A and B are shown apart, each in its own frame.
Chain A
Amino acid sequence: DSGVTQTPKHLITATGQRVTLRCSPRSGDLSVYWYQQSLDQGLQFLIHYYNGEERAKGNILERFSAQQFPDLHSELNLSSLELGDSALYFCASSVGASVSSYEQYFGPGTRLTVT
């Protein structure tokens, strides 16, 4: 158990819908990262928040948005869902602001299926 929690574990929804994925980082970690993992694309970095502020954006679509709240939990919002958005979404946390200086602890993931 990494100490990072993600809800829900599974999500099935229809095209055009909007969903929210939730992540709680490990106690004491200030950074939260979101990743998308699909079979053919590996782990794609989406976005990084540190202590409530956005630090970096990766390959995140405009239909996707995220935020980190004062209690440090984070939410990833996916809207106008398409079939291609079906994937495993991981949240990870680390103690520091630098993504490569600290090990990341990954949550169990949310499997999103868009039908």
Chain B
Amino acid sequence: DAGITQSPRHKVTETGTPVTLRCHQTENHRYMYWYRQDPGHGLRLIHYSYGVKDTDKGEVSDGYSVSRSKTEDFLLTLESATSSQTSVYFCAITRTGTDTQYFGPGTRLTVL
């Protein structure tokens, strides 16, 4: 599992509140990714990082921001959560020297 953990694993919040999801890895891989998974849409890339303080947008980045101040942590923030952001969020890394991604266990977020 490449030592990837996500926290929290489940969260229920209200519309308009800020939410931060954390992805932590223990193997110092350079590339990290945040996806959301929704029925009928598969996985869609939100943001990714290619190093400390180096991030870029993915396919569905509106309403989300990210930060990476340490190699091991990649944070996803919803500044003002909306019901359309109810989803399962997955963090992933690309294992150094390979082209394959390894995924965390996911965070189920419900915005009421």
Task: Decide if A and B are genuine partners.
Answer: no
